């Protein structure tokens, strides 16, 4: 299984790239959606955040006002640390979504996580894709999108890890400074990299890899029961030439050969994303 880390900065176009992956039938685990679920009324995350920030962050219906909460944390660095209260709920939600997709047999999964590096989740993903824009373009797009002042926009940008630093730690960089057509062309290149055949390590971590290993064990066990007849004609002769007949060794030898035959027979299509 290949877990691809997707991150960027505010107004960098990460969500657009995420949608492109979905359009190409690659499942995406969206950390923002999981974070919203973690803040649903009366959930564990909701109770902790309300206790930390007070009832002023609530709407009339009792739900957390995400815009108001965002303004608070983006304007006060010390209060941003309080959002770590949500980290356990978000990480467990991400793991659950990965597990669901693993059980469905998906071999490539995109983890769309804005705070991929800050949350130390980059170590679980390979490759890491960073959507990058130059600072001037990022500021202009954010002001246009949210109809915000330059000061507010700069505060929100500065509250995040810089895009240049994220870029330096990326395996793949998508430069989204240009047009939508430029982005589409660059995305096509990245898509081919993401969908390349799995490595053997990635394969064994996939559902099909696990099933193949299990199948190999089963075949090995079944093969050991059938090995007596086979070993009488071939395997026993080989072990006899060594000076003694080790029937148990012969049994497991045959089982191993059968298991390897299954793996080799199916590896071509199993390694394909």
Reported pTM: 0.78
53-84 per-position pLDDT tens digit: 899 999 999 999 988 887 787 777 666 666 67
**Which positions ≥6 away from 41 have C-beta within 8 Å?**
62, 63, 64
Beta bridge mates, 59: none
Q: With bands split at pLDDT 50, 70 and 90, how would you rate the model's confidence at 269?
A: very low
Q: Which of the pair, 25 or 79, is modelled with greater confidence?
A: 25
Question: How would you class 207 by CB atoms within 10 Å of its CB: exposed for 0-12, middle for 13-18, buried for 19 or more?
Answer: middle
User: What's the pLDDT at 177?
Assistant: 96
> Is residue 192's pLDDT more than 50?
yes
Percentage of the chain beyond pLDDT 90 is: 57
- The CATH code that applies to domain 2-196 is 3.40.50.300
| CA gap 89, 62 in Å, rounded | 20
Provide the mean pLDDT of the chain: 83
Over residues 183-200, mean pLDDT:
95
């Amino acid at each position: 299984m290949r877990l691809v880390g997707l991150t960027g900065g505010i107004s960098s176009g990460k969500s657009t790239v995420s949608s492109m992956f979905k359009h190409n039938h690659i499942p995406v685990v969206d950390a923002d959606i999981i974070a919203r679920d973690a803040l649903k009324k009366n959930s564990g995350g909701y109770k902790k955040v309300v206790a930390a920030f007070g009832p002023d962050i609530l709407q009339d219906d009792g739900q957390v006002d995400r815009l108001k909460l965002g303004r608070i944390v983006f304007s006060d660095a010390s209060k941003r640390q309080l959002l770590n209260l949500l980290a356990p709920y978000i990480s467990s939600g991400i793991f659950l979504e990965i597990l669901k997709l693993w059980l469905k047999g998906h071999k490539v999964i995109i983890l769309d996580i804005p705070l991929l590096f800050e949350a130390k989740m980059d170590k679980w993903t390979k490759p890491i894709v960073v959507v990058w824009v130059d600072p001037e373009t990022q500021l202009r797009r954010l002001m246009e999108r949210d109809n915000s002042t330059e000061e507010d926009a700069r505060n929100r940008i500065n509250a995040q890890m810089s895009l240049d630093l994220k870029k330096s730690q990326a395996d793949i960089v998508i430069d989204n400074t240009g047009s939508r057509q430029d982005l589409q062309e660059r995305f096509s290149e990245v898509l081919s990299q993401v969908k390349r055949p799995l490595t053997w390590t990635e394969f064994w971590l996939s559902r099909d890899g696990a099933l193949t290993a299990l199948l190999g064990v089963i075949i090995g066990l079944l093969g050991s029961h059938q090995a007596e007849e086979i070993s009488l004609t071939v395997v026993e002769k080989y072990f006899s030439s060594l000076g003694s007949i080790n029937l148990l060794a012969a049994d497991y030898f045959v089982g191993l050969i059968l298991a390897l035959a299954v793996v080799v027979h199916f590896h071509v299509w199993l390694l394909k994303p």
